[in-house]
Amino acid sequence: MVEIRIIDNATRPAGDELLESLEWASDVRIATAFVKGSGVAKLSDSLKRVLSRGGEIQVVYGLDFRITDPEAIEEILSLADGNPDSVKHYAYSDWGLAISHVFHPKLYVCAASEGSARVLMGSSNLTRGGLWRNFEVNAVISGTLNDPVIIQAGNRFNAAVTHAGCFTPTMEYVDAYRELRRKAMSVPFFPEPPDGLAADYQAIKQLENQQGLPAGGWEEAILSRVRIIETETNSRSFNAQAFHERFAVELAALYPRNRNIKAKIRQQLQFLRNKNILSFEGGGRYRIIA
């Protein structure tokens, strides 16, 4: 049964709700228009515990050369560097982002290996102010990965990650972003970079085009093996238990930190179903539809 609550930071801070969810989550997906180091630092220990349980984290955030700070990107990069198979992060940049609202989501999806899920969505960015201090209003939706509203939230996250122009920053990019942001803070806040910074902005956009997206994590690993089993059986239908027996040892070697491969496979098959790549036929069977 789906439960929906409306909260604000005065009665129930969004950050407290998120921290509580991170204590049981094994799959965390965050899409936020802006992110600050202060916000990431408040979540850091909880995110590390997600990873210590063999969980996976995906974050996509906006860069506007003013609000999002380089310290936040560095914190996320640090998590990713230590857990390259379990942490994926993406950025979307636009000089006038805070004005034009080109990329403006505030969505937090937490799922557990047994299938329970919680969505936090509303007005809170991944900043200390947004999650704890500001006057914000958010909906908290609790249910399971099978509930249509949870599926829709997952689909919206996927749309954010695949938004045109998203890329994965490196430390080289963070250094360039820090320098351009320093210069941007000294000029008026206009939708377009002023003449004096236009060349710097074009240079960093070229750098963005060179960053690209990383190879996929668990989702890509499961999808590639769905294609393998389709070829091996010459059928678009397969049994989840047979899939586990065929690939569990291989996936355990690929992701040695994950202690519950069977639950992770089940979860990722559900995510592929939510993306309309698979359909569930009942009785533990899936059909490939895309």
pLDDT at 158: 82
pLDDT at 216: 54
Residues 207 and 225 in one domain: no
Written as one letter, the residue type at 175 is: D
Residues 33 and 176 in one domain: yes
pLDDT at 184: 93
- CA 195/CA 27 separation, integer angstroms: 44
Mean pLDDT of 133-156: 94
Q: Is the pLDDT of residue 124 over 50?
A: yes
Mean pLDDT of 83-110: 88
Residues 143 and 272 in one domain: no
Q: Specify the number of domains making up the chain.
A: 2
Residues 138 and 84 in one domain: yes
pLDDT, tens digit, 9 for 90 and up, residues 168-218: 999 999 999 999 999 999 988 888 898 899 999 999 988 887 765 444 567
pLDDT at 214: 45
Q: What is the CATH number of the domain that holds 274?
A: 1.10.10.10
pLDDT band at residue 164 using 50, 70 and 90 as cut-offs:
low
- Which span out of 38-47, 75-84, 92-101 was modeled with the highest average pLDDT? 38-47
Crossing angle between the packed helical segments 261-274 and 240-254, to the nearest 10 degrees: 110
| Run of H or E residues at 218 | helix 218-233
Q: How far is CA 139 from the centre of its chain?
A: 18
Residue 59: CB partners within 8 Å, gap ≥ 6? 29, 30, 31, 32, 35, 76, 87, 88, 89, 90, 126
pLDDT, tens digit, 9 for 90 and up, residues 226-279: 988 888 888 999 999 999 999 888 888 777 767 778 888 888 888 888 878 898
Mean pLDDT of 4-10: 97
The domain containing residue 265 runs over which residues? 218-288
Q: What is the pTM of this model?
A: 0.77
- Maximum CA extent, the chain: 64
> Residue 44 has which token pair?
């850091």
Residues 152 and 241 in one domain: no
Residues 41 and 132 in one domain: yes
